[in-house]
Structure 1
């Protein structure tokens, strides 16, 4: 596991965040053994992240909270979700890098010594 040094901590910045609002959470009754209790309560969780298209299910516990945590944990380990995070991160980093670099190029090109003014005398 990677350890982050305190002096490098200042260099870290939040690029984007994924919140509970970004997910669709549905509850359903579990299948299998458990009888009346299992059929009567909707403790199983189906978690979907529409942007990445990943969906996971948490149904190993009798607790709604635990099933939701399990579904989120499965989602964070899902390879498609990891690829989506990498893709978004790269897009953001490219935009940041390109916008600063592009601004420098424009500023350099717009210096007065680099501009040439021509007059057109049409007939």
Structure 2
């Protein structure tokens, strides 16, 4: 059972992630790294929507809806890493801003996933 300490720890890690992404934009005067926040906030949505949509029964644990949700979630996570790398490669942002943006984005996404794992309700038959 997750308690108050878990919520405080997750909010602290989430705040550090947002701080890294905001600092990667503000320190270097280029606000393109803020696009990472949008991709990591959108990443869990396809998985959640498609898992509700597919509604697997007791014997089937996967389906085309779940596969689509996992694919789109993976696409958004990879895009959150590849977008700052492509921007740094093209010279739009600096490499240090890229590193801060990727680390902050991974902390944000990891916090979202940890929150859903800790506070997931168990269903009883």
Q: Same fold (TM over 0.5)?
A: no
Structure (1 or 2) with the greater helix fraction: 2
Q: TM-score, normalised by structure 1?
A: 0.27
Structure (1 or 2) with the greater strand fraction: 1
* Larger RCO (alpha carbons 8 Å, 6+ apart): 2
Larger Rg: 1
